[in-house]
Structure 1
Amino acid sequence: MKVIKREHPMTQNTLPGISYQALLLCAVSLSAMVLSVPGQAAQSHDEGFYLGLGLGYASYSDDIYSSEVLNNLLAQEGIQPESVASSSADGDDSSFSYKLFGGYRFNGFFAVEAFYADLGDVSGRLSWSGQGTLVDATVPQLWDVDFQAEDMKVEVQALGFSAVGTYPVADNFRLYAKLGAFWYNTDSRGGWVVDATSGIGGIYMTEGSWEHSNDDHSWLGAIGVTYTLSEAIDINLEWETFQDIDFQYGKNETSDFDVSVFNASFSYNF
């Protein structure tokens, strides 16, 4: 007996190695060094418009390749696991990112800022093998199942704004913190293959792929330090976190992840 099932790609179109602790430690350590610098607080750039460009390292949380994602992919194919022989997740967790931003300083302590950010992309795969039952199969017994979710890829772009609080701490140095909201677009794609055999010679095969685009909004926060290089130029080092970003996968499953970005930027003051 041989059962072969093939599914066509589905498209849904709508409308865009460093841990959190390590990134936060970098920012805190840098802040401590700044606080140790003697001198008077910088007085320039207290009011007016500014524009900037930032380049960074985006670190994705591992929720994209989590056991929840794997279990949902198995369930959508009607696979009910009974015993596990092996299970693995292999994927990128970081990417190059960049940001364009601009804002207005009302005084030396408060500003508002808007930005566009490309948070890069990550890719990977999930695999599972073991014994289980198959909802779509006609053989009422356990099957030896091999499941692969391959060429999974997620990319993120964001557009948002934030309130910025700053505090001068030494000559030409300021600490700052941000809190804001952003609207994002996630594009995701991938494919899956199921290859199963039964003890009495049954063969079950199915495969498919997905391509989704998802738009939503969430919140962000950041801490950083600014060095006034000249009357017109500032240099910034920043840790920023983008929280609860949704993405779609499989036939119509949804999960979320976070992205932390450690970036360096410069801004021009008008």
Structure 2
Amino acid sequence: MKKIIIASVLSLTALSAHAAEQGAYLFGNLGYNFSKLKKMDTQGVEGLSSSNSAAGASWELGGGYRFNDHFALEASYADFGKAKSSVAARADGVSGQLDTSLSASALRFAAVGILPVTNELDLFGKFTLNQMYFKGTINAGVNVPTLGIDAAGSSSEKQSRLRPGIGLGAAYKINKQLSVRGEYEYVSLPNWKLPDGSNLMQSGMHVVKAGLNYSF
């Protein structure tokens, strides 16, 4: 009987600990965005070269509320970095370059499903709605020394779109208030087309992130 009572008390203590897993929290993430602008195919074209680079470093700040062991809601702001591409031309003393960039940021809302593995470790999946803000910029320049021509110009355009996303990750509790988290996330991007009909972006956004949670 004594063993049964002790086991019951321990079980109730564990259940109480899980039930306490609720309340508000703040979080911050640093990450890397692998998305790229489409690279122009210059293979076999003399005097032309092209390059592109991933959007790179990203960050996110937000807050959430965990309702129980298995569900939370989050709201955040994220800067997804800036993807760049460049095309350069050089022939017979004439040179020119066309640089394109696309930066992205978002106001975000996420529904988070949580699977507690141990008292310290949680796995989670999330579905996000992202109010995306894009800024595209084009800079062009041409140089013809023999004619004394050295001209440059630029233009930019801003757009906003609502896009869905999904993510998977894990959080490990360091103490009652602080935990570390890591996750992978995919965010769908608009189907932008170049004049030749090809996609502007190579794919949607693939982002890996790591950060901290602080629970109240």
> In 2, distance between residues paired with 1:193 and 1:248?
23
After superposition, residues 97-116 of structure 1 pair within 5 angstroms as: 97-116=58-77
Contact 1:214 1:248 in 2 (8 A): no
Alignment of 1:90-239 (within 5 A): 90-127=51-88, 148-150=97-99, 152-192=100-140, 208-239=153-184
TM-fit CA distance, 1:188? 1.7
CA distance in 1, matches of 2:53, 2:215: 37
Query: Contact between 1:190 and 1:249, CA under 8 Å: does it hold in 2?
Result: no
1:109 to partner: Cα distance: 0.5
How high is the TM-score relative to the length of structure 1?
Answer: 0.59
Distance in 2 (alpha carbons) for counterparts of 1:220 and 1:147: 38
Distance 1:45 1:56, change over 3 A: farther
CA deviations 1:181-233 (Å, max 9, x no partner) are 101111121233579xxxxxxxxxx9753211111111111100010111111
Deviations along 1:23-44, one digit per CA (max 9) or x if unpaired, are xxxxxxxxxxxxxxxxx99837
In structure 2, list runs of 5 or more residues that go unmatched: 1-13, 144-150
Q: Does 1:47 align with 2:22?
A: yes
- TM-score in terms of structure 2 length: 0.73
Q: Determine if contact 1:223/1:238 at 8 Å carries over to the other structure.
A: yes
- SS of structure 1 residue aligned to 2:68: coil
Matches within 5 A, 1:28-47: 43=18, 46-47=21-22
- Give the equivalent residue in structure 1 for 2:189: 244
Contact 1:213 1:248 in 2 (8 A): no
SS where residue 102 of structure 1 aligns? Answer: strand
Gaps of 5+ in 1: 1-39, 72-82, 131-144, 196-205
For CA contacts below 8 A with separation 6 or more, give which structure has more relative contact order: 1
Q: State how 1:253-268 maps to structure 2 within 5 Å.
A: 255-256=200-201, 257-268=203-214
How many residue pairs get matched? Answer: 190
Match of 2:72, SS state, is: strand
* Mapped contact 1:186–1:246 kept (Cα < 8 A): no
Give me the whole-angstrom Cα distance separating, in 2, the residues matched to 1:192 and 1:164.
Answer: 44
Following the alignment from structure 1 to structure 2, what is the Cα–Cα distance between the partners of residues 96 and 246? 23
